[in-house]
A and B are shown apart, each in its own frame.
Chain A
């Protein structure tokens, strides 16, 4: 772990829903700690891709590989 995430971290505060994603990512970090850059990547995916529609399994596989490669 290279530092705790905070709501005020700039990467989590952009966008209209940034607040809830930041809050929940920080809370998830408290319960299931992970590297900060991985958490950043998941936050970014959540913000950019997950809300719009239910993704196909091939799309999710790509995203899983990206996270695993970090």
Chain B
């Protein structure tokens, strides 16, 4: 799917009409700084990203980047438009109105195109090298085609958490543990036979006329019924005892203290987090509107530039971090629920009519007041929250009531305590079914939970295995490309690797003068880092499943010296023959060198004229600036032919002078780039004279005539 033509109108630096023809070949475009080269690149990115350009994602560009995308000096009737024609006259276009709400057409042609493998800009060359291990992983994952696996792993982790929460695994385990503890307290290490013997003993006592029981559970059920009947038939004094016992066993004071403890834990867990989250929330609100697919945003948590998908992963991580606080609040809510239930039980017992006269006879005045206060409390409302007034009320009443109940229970009527003890034993035996049921439920949930957790582990292993295989292939490409760019240099064995100490991480290793380095940032110069960044990009581009897509390199050799720039031409010819490349550069010498070296059968060359003003916009020069053009011009205008020839010579002589190591004096401003062939010739002559003098030992005795 080669690009044939890019046409722009009032887009970015383009005026009414700017067109770039490639004739479906690779193309090298030269333009001095500010000539508008990147306008073409921006147009490409705008279409690929459905109306977004990464470097324009900032607070000044407007919601739809309309303040940056539309030419600032377009006339009132100037329509902003992009159209890219691909091979087969297939067109993709965008019409961008003043509000930036673009309408696109033909985008199915570029659907699924991965910009990370198609476009590299100057400022992005070393970005990958400098990124953290986790960022490299996130950046490479989609390029490795493993996003689906990563999504799967994230969803499996969340699913395991959902099973834990919905299944109330923690609460079920706690309930089972409490019942087991009671059972052990009651029976210690006694076996089934000993428990049966105890049941038979109680059965004889409370069901004397029944047949001897041989089944623990049915025997316990009969005893429980007999005990209830006996308690119901007791005299008033004994019944009062059971009511007081019930009120005391609700243990409101203990539950109230538990509420206070959990409240304190929740408060301390929340305080720091609340401050932090409030600050984050303010930033998040600003960025929430930008959460569309594939845009770059600044993460409010860490301040780094990340994609919106990565941001969502951050949010998921934050939610996980919040789970500790959520657990603390849940524990407090549970404690409140327990307290509310206990209060209801205690009040029901103490307000029983059977206790009315007894209460009046025995309770002190302050205890009666406490009972009245407690009666006014809305226990149901306590299940959600507790007010400072309610807290104060409970602080004042519960210790008094507890102490009063303890006092009253010490004066238990004879025989009543024994009934309570036996009732407890039977309740513990009856809880065996519940313990078993809870055990089965917890085992089943734990098995499911462990399986889902293991499946996440397996998915991560799958990601790692696939990544390593792909990374090995990419590393082989990188090494070959690096060797082309840096033949014989003592930096080699460049490769991607997955560190053992991190789950979601990728980094780059190099060998520097024979010593392995875990990161190029330790020893490599900026130029070498950029060179490595270019190799990484090109290695990934080479892995694009669709090799007919173009690769765009926008000013990517800025920090390379001449020698390495020359190697880039070799690299492109060797590795990307047949692939359409769109190179943009502001380096005139490199442009000319490429023009000499790259095969014209596969390559076109194009010049952009220097920028004049935003209304005129980007201008593609009509001249091809080659000897063929000069030859054709001779018939029309000798002067014009001479001008073209001189322009070619101006650049060619610069390259020749540099290869001959002819020192050129430094000029101010852009004059270094505007030297003419005559300047070079003069310096070449001067250096030539000097060299010959040295060689022959005397001035004036030249073996050849130096002009």
Contacts and interface: CB of A to CB of B under 8 A. Distances in A.
Interface of A: 17, 20, 24-25, 27-29, 31-34, 38-39, 42, 45-46, 49-55, 57, 60-61, 63-65, 67-68
A68 B163 contact: yes
B451 interface: yes
A10 B457 CA distance: 24
A11 B459 CA distance: 18
B167 interface: yes
Interface string B432-465: 0000000000000101101111110111011000
Contacts of B159: 45, 60, 63-64, 67
B197 to A, nearest CB: 37
B156 to A, nearest CB: 7
Contacts of B162: 57, 60-61, 63-64
B462 A20 contact: yes
A59 B647 CA distance: 67
Interface string B153-192: 0111011001100110000000000000000000000000
B448 A28 contact: no
5 contacts: A28-B455, A33-B447, A33-B451, A51-B148, A51-B151
Interface size class, chain B? 20 to 34
A27 B87 CA distance: 48
A65 B158 CA distance: 13
A61 B155 contact: no
Interface string B134-163: 000000000000001101101110110011
B312 interface: yes
B623 interface: no
B448 A34 contact: yes
A63 B453 CA distance: 15
B451 A39 contact: yes
Given A38-B448, A61-B166, A54 B151 contact: yes
A29 B448 CA distance: 11
Nearest to A27: B458
B682 interface: no
Contacts of B461: 24
A31 B454 contact: yes
A51 B163 contact: no
Contacts of A32: 447, 450-451, 453-454
Contacts of A57: 158, 162
Given A61-B162, A67-B452, 6 more contacts: A17-B148, A34-B447, A52-B148, A54-B151, A64-B162, A68-B445
A60 B316 CA distance: 13
B166 A68 contact: yes
| 6 pairs of A and B residues whose beta carbons are closest in the complex | A51-B148, A24-B458, A64-B162, A32-B450, A50-B152, A32-B454
Contacts of A55: 155, 158
B28 to A, nearest CB: 40
Given A20-B462, A42-B452, A63-B162, A51 B447 contact: no
B453 to A, nearest CB: 7
Interface of B: 148-149, 151-152, 154-156, 158-159, 162-163, 166-167, 312-313, 316, 445, 447-448, 450-455, 457-459, 461-462
B448 A51 contact: no
A51 B313 CA distance: 15
B167 A28 contact: no
Contact of A60 (B151, B155, B454, B459): B155
Nearest to A29: B451
B158 A60 contact: yes
Contacts of A63: 159, 162
Given A20-B462, A28-B451, A50 B163 contact: no
B254 to A, nearest CB: 33
A56 to B, nearest CB: 9
B647 to A, nearest CB: 55
A54 B154 contact: yes
Contacts of A29: 451
Nearest to B466: A20
A38 B451 contact: yes
A32 B155 CA distance: 19
B438 to A, nearest CB: 15
Contact of A67 (B163, B312, B453, B459): B163
B171 to A, nearest CB: 15
A14 B278 CA distance: 48
A7 B454 CA distance: 17
A67 B448 contact: yes
A49 B451 CA distance: 18
Contacts of B148: 17, 51-52
Given A57-B162, A63-B162, A50 B156 contact: yes
Contacts of A68: 163, 166-167, 445, 448
Nearest to B148: A51
Nearest to B465: A20
B166 A51 contact: no
Nearest to A45: B159
A34 B452 CA distance: 10
A30 to B, nearest CB: 9
A31 B454 CA distance: 7
Given A61-B162, A64-B162, A53 B448 contact: no
Contacts of B312: 54
Contacts of A51: 148-149, 151-152
A42 B455 contact: yes
A25 B458 CA distance: 8
A50 to B, nearest CB: 4
B243 to A, nearest CB: 41
